[in-house]
């Protein structure tokens, strides 16, 4: 990125926004003109050259994005339940005294056919705090919808 000073967090937000924009356009089967008109109405502060880039990408890749969006939404499961527990690792073969806290999260997810599967994962306390922060951000965004 020669000549551009941007941090990773800002770049991630930009990528997520563009991904959301294109997946929403695909889900709603927007034409290029509809997408550009919607952007013009909603985001009057968006620079003209940015809209031109979005128009070009949608013209070139819109059909494939729409097809992949259809394919990905067809295989998404439905959240059923969540359980969690706090644990402490006491020792291991290589370390006599760990005393390391962790969170175990267990999810129940129904696939499109209705079959329920369990998914589980462990997180350190800092990972859980980040996970929690992201859920709070999602809740805040959902309140604006």
Res 97: pLDDT: 67
70 with 109, same domain? no
Work out how many domains the chain is built from and give that number: 2
Write down the pLDDT at residue 14: 77
CATH number at residue 85: 3.10.450
User: Is 36 a domain residue?
Assistant: yes
Is the per-residue pLDDT at 57 higher than 50?
yes
Residue 59 and residue 36: Cα distance in Å, rounded?
A: 11
Q: Could you give the CA distance from residue 69 to residue 72 in angstroms, rounded to a whole number?
A: 5
Could you tell me if residue 2 is inside a domain?
no
Q: How many CB atoms lie within 10 A of CB 25?
A: 22
Please indicate, yes or no, if residue 130 is contained in any of the structural domains.
yes
Whether residues 65 and 84 fall in one domain? no
Q: Are residues 64 and 83 in the same domain?
A: no
Residue 55: its pLDDT value, please?
A: 86
**Residue 1 falls inside a structural domain:** no
Which domain does 106 fall in, by range?
78-144
* Those residues with Cβ within 8 angstroms of residue 121's Cβ, 6 or more apart along the chain or in another chain: 104, 105
What is the average pLDDT across 122-139? 88
The model's pLDDT over 65-122, given as tens digits with 9 standing for 90+, comes to: 766 655 455 456 788 889 999 988 776 677 766 778 889 999 998 877 788 989 898 9
Same structural domain, 63 and 85: no
Mean pLDDT of 49-63: 83
The answer to whether residues 22 and 42 belong to one domain is: yes
Q: Are 128 and 110 in contact (CB under 8 A)?
A: no
Average pLDDT, the chain: 79
The whole-number pLDDT of residue 113 equals 77
- pLDDT score at 85: 92
What local confidence, expressed as pLDDT, does residue 74 receive? 45
Closest to 61 in 3D by CA, of 98, 32, 96 = 32
Domain presence at residue 20: yes
Instruction: Show Cβ contacts of residue 108 under 8 Å, excluding neighbours closer than 6 positions.
Output: 79, 80, 81, 82, 116, 117, 118, 119
Overall size of the chain counted in residues: 145
56 and 90 both lie in a single domain? no
Q: Please give the radius of gyration of the chain, using alpha carbons only, rounded to the nearest integer.
A: 21
* 3 located within any domain: no
**What per-residue confidence (pLDDT) applies to 83?**
92
In a domain, 86, yes or no: yes
32 and 68 both lie in a single domain: yes
Residue in the block written with tokens 């890749």: 61
């Amino acid at each position: 990125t020669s000549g551009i000073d941007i941090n990773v967090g800002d770049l991630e937000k930009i990528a997520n926004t563009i991904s959301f924009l294109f997946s929403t356009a695909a889900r709603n089967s927007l034409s290029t003109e509809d997408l550009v008109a919607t952007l013009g109405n909603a985001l009057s502060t968006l620079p003209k050259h940015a809209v031109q880039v979005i128009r070009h990408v949608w013209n070139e890749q819109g059909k494939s994005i729409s097809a992949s969006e259809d394919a990905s939404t067809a295989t998404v499961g439905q959240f059923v339940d969540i359980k969690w527990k706090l644990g402490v690792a006491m020792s291991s073969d290589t370390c006599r005294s760990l005393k390391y806290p962790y969170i175990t999260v267990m999810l129940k997810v129904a696939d499109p056919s209705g079959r329920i599967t369990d998914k589980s994962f462990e997180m350190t306390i800092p990972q859980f705090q980040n996970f929690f922060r992201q859920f709070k951000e999602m809740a805040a965004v959902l309140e604006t919808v």
